[in-house]
Amino acid sequence: MNDYTLAPGAPRPRRLRRSAAVRRLVREHRLNPADLVLPMFVKESLHEPAELQSMPGVHQHTLDSLVEAAVAAADAGVGGLMLFGIPAERDEIGSQGWAPDGILNRAIAAVRAAVGERTVVMADLCLDEFTSHGHCGVLDAVGAVDNDATLDAYTRMALAQAEAGAEVLGLSGMMDGQVAAVRHALDTAGRTDVIVLAYAAKYSSAFYGPFREAVESPLQGDRRTYQQDPANGREALRELDLDLAEGADIVMVKPGLPYLDVLADVAAVSPVPVWSYQISGEYAMIEFAARAGAIDRMPAILESLLSFKRAGADAILTYWAAEVAVEIGAAR
């Protein structure tokens, strides 16, 4: 029989876990609806919202249903809305991305008019949703992404999105010099008020699969020549330094859960806010595991989001943003 007991005065960390009230009082990190950003998809040719098979609970929206869902998210207290557009027609250069009457720019204006200043309206600034080849940039004569020609397209998109009412532009294409090009274009046009969110560390990940369904990507091949190699960590800090020098207001690490180490490294040194994106594959894994009865859905969702906060994220893009905001509010 083991009669060993702790000596008087020995450390007993369990005292701080003895009840739900004590655990809540000493908790190091908390989720707040204002820290959550909801990615949303609007499809030009739709007549009614369409649920995504690979992302249960997430929809491609019509313009009307997008506005309705945006208002509901704002009512729940989410910090922001990140809008993605799926045009009825695509071309080689993605010109619908900067067309004033393009679906994304119309959506920005409609959502901004509906939510006002109650939440922050953001727009994805990338060509992949708008090009017929599905790449994030303009292609050259041999089919490779032409970095500098793409920057010209990005500046056009930036000005169009700013004019439509976007408060934050999410530069997700991972082109060299994209932050400097967009910041210069905005400032030259007198739009010094528009915030540049740099996807400083965006990895070429296997977890983007469901997103391809969401934007109906026609991509053939991959994006490994511009998105980062999943094997590299220090490279993210170099990308961070470049984006900061070019004028980024906020920086992003994407994906989320597989790159919490990178997120922590970036958060430890960044002088500007650091965000992360819980991407489509991460969402799908939890949803399908919960549907299979393998995990308890909402506790798993909340635990996954807390891991971002613990790693240093100031805000999190997540497809659960509105639902979790309601959950958090109900628990208070």
Kindly report, residue by residue over 9-52, the tens digit of the pLDDT: 999 999 999 999 999 999 999 999 999 999 999 999 999 999 99
Residue entry with tokens 């369904």: 213
As a whole number of angstroms, the distance between CA 16 and CA 31 comes to 20
Closest of 73, 40, 37, 81 to residue 59, by C-alpha: 40
Q: Which residue, chain included where needed, has tokens 């995990």?
A: 295
Cα–Cα distance, 239 to 131 (Å, whole number)? 25
- Residues with Cβ < 8 Å from 299, sequence gap 6 or more? none
pTM: 0.95
Q: Model confidence at 1, in pLDDT bands (50, 70, 90)?
A: low
Average pLDDT of the residues of the chain: 96
Q: What angle do CA 40, 158, 312 make, to 5 degrees?
A: 60
Q: What would the pLDDT profile of 111-150 be if each residue is shown by its tens digit?
A: 999 999 999 999 999 999 999 999 999 999 999 999 999 9
- Of 90, 112, 202, 223, the active-site residue reads 202
Residue 212: predicted pLDDT: 86
Pick the catalytic residue from 61, 90, 223, 254: 254
Relative to beta strand 315-317, strand 250-254 is: unpaired
Strand 36-43 versus strand 80-86 pairing type: parallel
Please say whether the beta carbons of 219 and 134 come within 8 A: yes
pLDDT band at 331 (very low <50, low <70, confident <90, very high): confident
Q: Is 254 a catalytic residue?
A: yes
Rounded to whole angstroms, the Cα distance separating 39 from 57 reads 13
The residue ranges of DSSP E strands in the chain, in sequence order, are: 36-43, 50-52, 55-61, 80-86, 120-125, 168-171, 195-202, 250-254, 274-277, 315-317
pLDDT, one tens digit per residue, over 223-282 is 989 999 999 999 999 999 999 999 999 999 999 999 999 999 999 999 999 999 999 999
